[in-house]
Structure 1
Amino acid sequence: MKQLDDFYLNQEEPIKGMFLALKEIILKQDKDINNVLKYGMPIFCYKGKMFCYLWIHKKFKQPYLALVEGKHFDQPFLIQENRSRMKIMLLNTDEDLPIEKIETILEKALNLYKSGIIKV
């Protein structure tokens, strides 16, 4: 758990604050979501299945929330780039987190897992 905590604490502000806030938002979506460190990044799993993760875009230098099953969504704020399955939501460090938008897309993604479309 220390490595996971260190990941968040070693980020520079304002990314550190954004990631910590996102962690809380994601974890409160469902009691079966947990946060682990894999591949050097904080990954959130639903009943052991990868659900979403946080990272920083190399090109844009912006933090983002990645939805593992993002291909199922057509929201214009989700970007696919060269990924076949995942889509990301870039976050602007100069603005407040769009909490309602984040919670809505997380709820939709979680419903995919709960409905059985995504096997857990």
Structure 2
Amino acid sequence: MKPVDNYFLNQKEPYQSIMLYVREVILNTLPDVVERYSYNIPFYNIGKKPMLYLNILKGRDYVDVAFVQGVLLEKDFPILKNDNKRKQVRSIQLKSIEDLDHEHFQELLCVAAEQIRQSKKAWFI
């Protein structure tokens, strides 16, 4: 079993179900995305550049779906929040699967992927 699979299977509910659902949407929406396990969390890359990652922040009661270049996306996608005062990363906080607007999330994924493809590097700040 891959480390990323172990990560998901070791999560408590409802986080496990939320993460597995988000993972499925990502993989089905972006066939060229590369799933990898780095820094003890799942990352989703376009080529070698990280686009987003899934995490559960300590002391929080939600899954953090964090977009690496989220600061460039937040104007068009107001669902992205600046949690933890991060300079570049913006995220969607999910407490349940129902919190995710599937259609808008797929649109966000496509726009974020294209942005990463066109950028010289993922981390620019």
Q: TM (normalized to structure 2)?
A: 0.84
Q: Secondary structure at the match of 2:95?
A: coil
Structure 1 or 2: more helix by fraction: 2
CA RMSD of aligned residues (A): 1.8
Q: Give percent identity, aligned residues only.
A: 29
Q: Distance in 2 between matches of 1:29 and 1:49?
A: 17
Q: Secondary structure at the match of 2:7?
A: helix
Structure with bigger RCO (C-alpha 8 Å, 6+ apart): 2
Q: Secondary structure at the match of 1:43?
A: strand
Residues 3-61 of structure 1, C-alpha deviation per residue, up to 9 Å, x if partnerless?
21110001112211111111111112223211111000000111111010001133432
Select the residue among 109, 112, 122 that pairs with 1:109: 112
Q: How many residues are aligned here?
A: 118
The answer (yes or no) to whether the contact 1:18–1:97 under 8 Å persists in 2 is no
Q: Secondary structure at the match of 2:37?
A: strand
The answer (yes or no) to whether the contact 1:34–1:45 under 8 Å persists in 2 is yes
Q: Relative to structure 1, is the Cα distance of residues 71 and 10 closer, same or farther in structure 2, using a 3 angstrom cutoff?
A: same
Q: TM (normalized to structure 1)?
A: 0.87
> 1:109 deviation in Å?
0.5
Q: Distance in 2 between matches of 1:4 and 1:106?
A: 20
The answer (yes or no) to whether the contact 2:44–2:53 under 8 Å persists in 1 is yes
Indicate the residue corresponding to 1:9 in structure 2. Answer: 9
For structure 1, the 5+ residue unaligned runs are none
Indicate the residue corresponding to 1:80 in structure 2. Answer: 82
